[in-house]
Structure 1
Amino acid sequence: MGRWGITLPLVGVPVLDHRELVAELGDLGYTDIWSAETAGTDAFTPLALAAQWSDLRLGTAIAPVYTRGPATLAMTAATLAEVSSHRFVLGIGSSSPAIVQRWNAADFTEPFKRTRDTLRFLKAALAGEKVSEQYDTFAVRGFRLERVPEQRVPIMLAALRPNMLRLAGREADGAITNWLGADDVPKVRAELGDKELAARIFVCPTENAEAARGLGRMLISTYLTVPAYAAFHDWLGRGELLRPMHEAWQAGDRRKAAEVIPDEVVDDLVVHGSVEHCRARVAKYAANGVDTPIIAVLPTGEDQLELVRALAPGA
């Protein structure tokens, strides 16, 4: 086994209460800690703390390119690279209309170009260049970092479909994806090429399949009705299987949208079962071409800190 990541902070666990767990992760076999940013913690603060509690690699999965200005994003990345002794990977992406428009009052326009332009700006800025550039989606005049990272900061892109995966393969250090099954990995890998592929894998370690599928259906109906994810699963070949969900969602029947998702889709996209079974399923993602599987533990009612320990490759 190569890399083995975990998504922190855990749902419902205060950020500072992770210190003891984070200090143990390396001995348990984890290599990476990755954050997320929706409506809970921001992507960077938990990693700044984790940098002081462990020597693991740290990454954002992801920081949206619309919710911080380009210069602010560069400064934040440079600072986290410094405080982590250059163990930081900056993952960026377009995020979603809900997060960008409804919650952050920004225009969600031309997400591919905005992500590409932000990537190009960050590569120049983090290298210490003075940037004066008219990009397609924004302009920067005369910006130069005062504290340039001593080592190059890797940048990875959130990518679902061929255009963004190919951009990640050409211009970034890799791609970050999620909401895919282990058997979908070769199709994604074929578009990315040989750059690093990280995947957030939703893991619900319980042998209560009904409960796991119920939670999975709720999450799938929430996420996969977002246009980018809908198009992703059309491309992966689940369009017909998910058509009833989309029809119910568009009709305003959220409950039915979740109910009509087939078991096979839930079982493909949400890993559940005993911790031993879950570890084996995560390992299958790696065997199929994911360089960095990133476990995201879904709540089961059990102690989440202990579940992280149980899901470690060395458990």
Structure 2
Amino acid sequence: MTVPMGGIPLADHAAVYAALADAGFTDVWSSEVNGADAFTPLTLAAAWQPGLRLGTAITPAFTRGPGLLAMSAAALADVAPGRFALGIGASSPVVVSDWNAVEFTEPFRRTRDVLRFLRAALGGETVDGAFDTFAVRRFTLERPPAVPPPLLLAALRPGMLRLAAAEADGVILNWLAATDVPRAVAELGRRRAQFEVVARIFVCPTEDAGYARTLGRRMITSYLTVPAYAEFHRWLGRQEALAGMWTAWAAGDRRAALAAIPDEVVDALILHGSPERCRAQVNRYVDAGVDVPVLALLPTPETTATDPAALTTLLARLGRDAKEAA
């Protein structure tokens, strides 16, 4: 499950983490956009529910200096040895430049360089020298983790997918349908057998299809109009299906952009229906090649942050298969 859960104060997440563990969820994964940072929710989870595995999906490669990112990762790996995976990625110009005042240039090379730096630093090496996109002078972690965390790379198109296969321990997929997974996994080549495939999956567990599709359309126009995601979906074969949205968006007609998104695209990218139906749809990702499906739970008309009992029941219904398997 993606944490923190929207609308619930972070200080109140002890009950959320307990409900997740009770429902059979094995992992909690954080993101880093404009809410909580990636590490604080996981640190709390490590203290409150030490049986949960922890991961970042993702920490941007631009918004922290290389040394600080290594320090943050090492600290969490020290708190949760063998239970933490560090996912990094390029993020986006809005997050990096508009919100963090860092120039978003050469995202592929920057992400590759940060990955290489982290591999060395978290392994206890002294890093001294120039990478293509930055230079580091004699950085050594004071306390390198006894168990270095696996390094996962967020990837969309072939170049980054192949980089992940060549140099990371796993890949994090995002904003794709279950039917898209085989195409992404095929780019990993022979490495797939020793590799972890994580996918972030948006889930809106409501039987109010109109509500779910309205929310889904707003999310799709927010994300899939970003150039990297637009190119990703062109590569996946959605040029014709999303051309109307892209044209209307470029013309500044937001209402027409929303209306131009076909229901079948929304339904493929934003899972909705009863919790049991959503769980069955998530299982299709696993059947297609995903090792760790990470749910991103969206708000529904039936469940609010002010009704913890309803949330606990929902989590139990979403996680029932995992609990029975455990």
TM-score normalised by the chain length of structure 2 = 0.93
SS where residue 19 of structure 1 aligns? helix
The partner residue of 1:108 within 98, 104, 112 is 104
Q: For residues 214 and 24 of structure 1, what CA distance do their matches in structure 2 show? A: 29
Which residue of structure 1 aligns with residue 211 of structure 2?
211
The partner residue of 1:17 within 12, 18, 26 is 12
Q: For residues 182 and 86 of structure 1, what CA distance do their matches in structure 2 show? A: 29
Which residue of structure 1 aligns with residue 308 of structure 2?
none
The partner residue of 1:47 within 35, 42, 49 is 42
Which residue of structure 2 aligns with residue 247 of structure 1?
247
Task: Show structure 1 runs of 5+ residues with no match.
Answer: 1-5
The answer (yes or no) to whether the contact 1:212–1:272 under 8 Å persists in 2 is yes
Deviation readout 1:235-270 (Å, 9 max, x if unpaired): 100011101111111111122211110001001101
Instruction: Write the mapping of 1:252-291 to structure 2, written as runs, cut at 5 A.
Output: 252-291=252-291
Q: For residues 192 and 15 of structure 1, what CA distance do their matches in structure 2 show? A: 36
Which residue of structure 1 aligns with residue 221 of structure 2?
221
Residue 192 of structure 1 pairs with residue 188 of structure 2: yes
SS where residue 310 of structure 1 aligns? helix
Q: For residues 138 and 73 of structure 2, what CA distance do their matches in structure 1 show? A: 19
Of 168-177 and 189-198, more deviation after overlay is shown by 189-198
Shift of 1:308: 2.5
SS where residue 87 of structure 2 aligns? strand
Q: For residues 243 and 33 of structure 1, what CA distance do their matches in structure 2 show? A: 35
Shift of 1:92: 0.3
Which residue of structure 1 aligns with residue 140 of structure 2?
144
- Report the residue type matching 2:315 in the other structure: V
Shift of 1:25: 2.6
The answer (yes or no) to whether the contact 1:297–1:308 under 8 Å persists in 2 is no
The percent of aligned pairs where both chains have the same amino acid is 60
Q: For residues 20 and 249 of structure 2, what CA distance do their matches in structure 1 show? A: 40
Shift of 1:26: 3.0
Q: For residues 256 and 308 of structure 1, what CA distance do their matches in structure 2 show? A: 35
The answer (yes or no) to whether the contact 2:23–2:315 under 8 Å persists in 1 is no
- Report the residue type matching 1:95 in the other structure: S
Shift of 1:168: 0.6
Which residue of structure 2 aligns with residue 308 of structure 1?
315
Residue 299 of structure 1 pairs with residue 318 of structure 2: no
Which residue of structure 2 aligns with residue 3 of structure 1?
none
The answer (yes or no) to whether the contact 1:209–1:272 under 8 Å persists in 2 is yes
Q: Give the root-mean-square deviation of aligned CA atoms.
A: 1.1
Shift of 1:188: 0.7
The answer (yes or no) to whether the contact 2:19–2:315 under 8 Å persists in 1 is no
Deviation readout 1:96-123 (Å, 9 max, x if unpaired): 0000010001000000000000000000
The answer (yes or no) to whether the contact 2:81–2:146 under 8 Å persists in 1 is no
The answer (yes or no) to whether the contact 2:77–2:148 under 8 Å persists in 1 is no
The answer (yes or no) to whether the contact 1:175–1:192 under 8 Å persists in 2 is no
Of 285-294 and 252-261, more deviation after overlay is shown by 252-261
Which residue of structure 2 aligns with residue 84 of structure 1?
80
Residue 236 of structure 1 pairs with residue 231 of structure 2: no
- Report the residue type matching 1:280 in the other structure: A
Q: For residues 163 and 286 of structure 2, what CA distance do their matches in structure 1 show? A: 22
The answer (yes or no) to whether the contact 1:206–1:212 under 8 Å persists in 2 is yes
Shift of 1:17: 1.3
Residue 37 of structure 1 pairs with residue 32 of structure 2: yes
SS where residue 58 of structure 1 aligns? strand
Q: For residues 95 and 254 of structure 2, what CA distance do their matches in structure 1 show? A: 20
Shift of 1:68: 0.2
The answer (yes or no) to whether the contact 1:156–1:176 under 8 Å persists in 2 is yes
Of 153-162 and 299-308, more deviation after overlay is shown by 299-308
- Report the residue type matching 2:134 in the other structure: F
- Report the residue type matching 2:236 in the other structure: L
Shift of 1:27: 3.5
- Report the residue type matching 1:308 in the other structure: L
- Report the residue type matching 1:265 in the other structure: V
Instruction: Write the mapping of 1:35-184 to structure 2, written as runs, cut at 5 A.
Output: 35-54=30-49, 55-184=51-180
